[in-house]
Amino acid sequence: MEPDATDVFGRPIIPDNRPVQPGGWSLTFGQVFWYSIALCGLYVLGKRLRMRVLVWRERQLKLQTRRRYGIPDNDLRPFNVAYADAVRRAQEEEKHNPKPRRAPPAVVDLRETSQEQTIRNRSGVFNFIS
């Protein structure tokens, strides 16, 4: 009995008659080509989507800043010009419609100064000794 013709248990080994593929790759050149084209397409699509999101985020940040300083969304002038105009417009409105100034609210101390409020009595909580 030949040592390479049997397995560990002594049974005869059945030869594998399937054709051997060179290089061990199971993909053809055409498949590799189309997969690489699809991968490049996904990469380009991802880059464009990322740029679009970055532009959108920057525009939203600029609009939020302009809104914070009282500049309307349809005002497309540079920030310093639009801000100066918004400040001037707010001052004119203040002159025409003065609002009564309210006094700041008085500070009220709601804490009681009794001794029972400041010292915690825990004598009954941790009574392990008795």
pLDDT tens digits along 34-81: 999 999 999 999 999 999 999 999 999 999 999 999 999 999 999 999
Is the pLDDT score of 102 beyond 60? yes
Phi (first) and psi of residue 51, to 5 degrees: -65, -40
Q: Give how many domains the chain has, as a whole number.
A: 1
Element (H, E) at 109: none
Q: What pLDDT, on a 0 to 100 scale, did the predictor assign at position 125? A: 58
Establish if 6 belongs to a structural domain: no
- Does 5 map to a domain? no
Q: Say what the pLDDT of residue 47 is.
A: 98
- In whole angstroms, give the CA distance from residue 119 to residue 115: 6
Cα–Cα nearest to 73, from 55, 60, 54, 92: 60
Q: What is the mean pLDDT of the chain?
A: 81
pLDDT bin (cut points 50, 70, 90) of residue 101 is confident
Please indicate, yes or no, if residue 17 is contained in any of the structural domains. Answer: no
Q: Identify whether 43 is part of a domain.
A: yes
Give me the residue label for tokens 């985020």. Answer: 57
CB 73 within 8 A of CB 63: yes
Question: Which tokens hold the place of 130?
Answer: 């008795």
pLDDT at 18 > cutoff 70:
yes
Global confidence as pTM: 0.49
Task: Check if the beta carbon of residue 13 is closer than 8 Å to that of residue 5.
Answer: yes
97 vs 100, which has greater pLDDT?
Answer: 97
What are phi and psi for residue 6, nearest 5 degrees? -125, 160
Q: Which domain holds residue 34?
A: 27-98
Q: Is residue 78 part of a domain?
A: yes
> Which residue has tokens 């419609």?
97
Give the pLDDT band of residue 1 (cuts 50, 70, 90).
very low
Instruction: With respect to residue 7, please indicate whether it lies within any of the assigned structural domains.
Output: no
